Structures are given as structure tokens and as C-alpha cells.
Amino acid sequence: MATRSIRRSFLTVMSALYGGKPALYGLDINTLVFDEKRIDTMPPDRAQKIHSFRLLDDRRRSFAAGLLLEAALGRDAVFRIHKSVNGKPYIDGGPCFSVSHSGNYVVLAVCREDAGFDIQFARADRDTAMIARHAFQPEEIEAVGCDTSMFYRVWAAKEAYLKMAGCRSLSMQDFCVRLEGGAGRIKGITDTEIRFFEQFDGYAAAVSAPAGTDWPSDITVMSGI
């Protein structure tokens, strides 16, 4: 049965869930049963990554990411995931995608154009001022001030843009995020915009994509996969 499932038509599976428009899918790891047998049906790279984590919650997040990719893109697609020379995952002939996980949530962004997504759990024990000094530009540090929620918005935006750019030589300090109302942009770059999502209490989430990309207003939280 597993072999027949893997061989299902790539296009048929794609049209069942991802219909070609920009989409965001999420999973709460607390709703999943960590199934060792199901891990063995995943691509070898994913299975190896899951088993490499020492902590159970890290393994659960990686397991959830594998399930979400399979549910959104189809089993054929997840077995076609490759990595560029810079380590950015991609699918030959498929859509662009970006996965991020933090705390209890795993989120997948899917788009026909390059996109990067990031979610950050606002941990109370994190030294945000120290991180900002090492990773943010002076303009960002001034804008954030002592506002913890603003710090996480900027951090998620910067991570999202790095994932979109897919360039290992680029660091957080090489560009500046400017927040404008409920959105943001990268200073000096007009063809890219940042969208924020705030439906999960205690989390900051952001997607970076070409300006004008029609993202949904909320992340679709999946269940029963």
C-alpha cells in the first residue's frame, strides 16, 4: 500500500490540497501521535533528520514537518525534494515552499514564486537585547526598543527573508527590516514585502515574498494527517 501511495500522480496530489495559490498550512505538534513506523515511510533525509534530534519535542517537530509536507504537496513531491548548493530545499517542477517550526507549531508556506516563512515562540528566558545587539542593525534596535513583541516580529521577518534569499553568505546584519503598520519591507528592496500572522498567542510569524503576493489572511491549521 505504501509503495502504491508513493507512486500516485504528482499533479493529482497537488490539486487535492495545494491549488496553485499562495497557501499557509500549520500543525500543532500536540495533536499528533509520534509514530516510529510512519517515519520509515518518509524520505531518507527526513527520517535521518528526525532520528538525529536528542530531545523528543525536536523529533516531534521534525516529524510534523514531514507530515505537513506530505499532506500539502503529496508523497511524490516529498520524495523529489532536493537542496541547492546553498542548502535551500526545492522540488523539480513543483512550487516553492518554506517550513518553519517553533514551540508547538510547524508551518508550511507554499507559493509559485520564491518565499520564506518563519515562526518564533516568544520565550520568556531569552535575552532579546543581546540577540538584537548581535543580529540587528542600529535602525532595527532603535525601532524595537524594549518591546519584546516587536523584537520577535523583526526576528521572524529577518529569518523569513533569509530563507527566501537562500544565500548562505547573507547574514541578519546585512539587511534592515522596516515595519510599516501590519506589514514590513526590506530597506532598499522594493520588490519584496513582509506579511505578519498573529493568530497564535505568544508567537510571531512572518512570510517574505515578492510584493503583491496574495497570501491568505490566516494560517490553515491541519488535523487528522
Predicted local confidence at residue 11, as pLDDT: 34
pLDDT at 169: 83
Mean pLDDT for back-to-back runs of 10 residues, the chain (225 residues):
32 51 94 90 94 94 94 89 90 91 97 96 93 96 94 97 91 94 91 96 97 95 83
Looking at residue 190, what is its pLDDT? 93
Let me know the angle formed at the C-alpha of 65 by 206 and 116, rounded to the nearest 5 degrees: 30
pLDDT of residue 223: 82
Grid coordinates representing 148 are 519584546
Residue 201 CB neighbour total at 10 angstroms: 6
Residue 28 has what pLDDT?
95
CATH number of the domain within which 168 lies? 3.90.470.20
CA neighbours closer than 13 Å in the CB half-sphere of residue 223: 3
- pTM of this prediction? 0.89
Q: How far apart are CA 161 and CA 82, in angstroms?
A: 20
- Read off the pLDDT of residues 127-175 as tens digits, 9 standing for 90 and up: 999 999 999 999 999 999 999 999 999 999 999 999 999 988 899 999 9
Ranges of H-type helices in the chain: 2-6, 10-17, 36-39, 44-52, 56-73, 75-78, 128-135, 138-144, 148-165
How many domains does the chain divide into?
Answer: 1
Report pLDDT for 124. Answer: 87
Give residue 5's region: left, alpha or beta (phi > 0; psi -120 to 50).
alpha
**Containing domain of residue 153, as a range?**
2-221
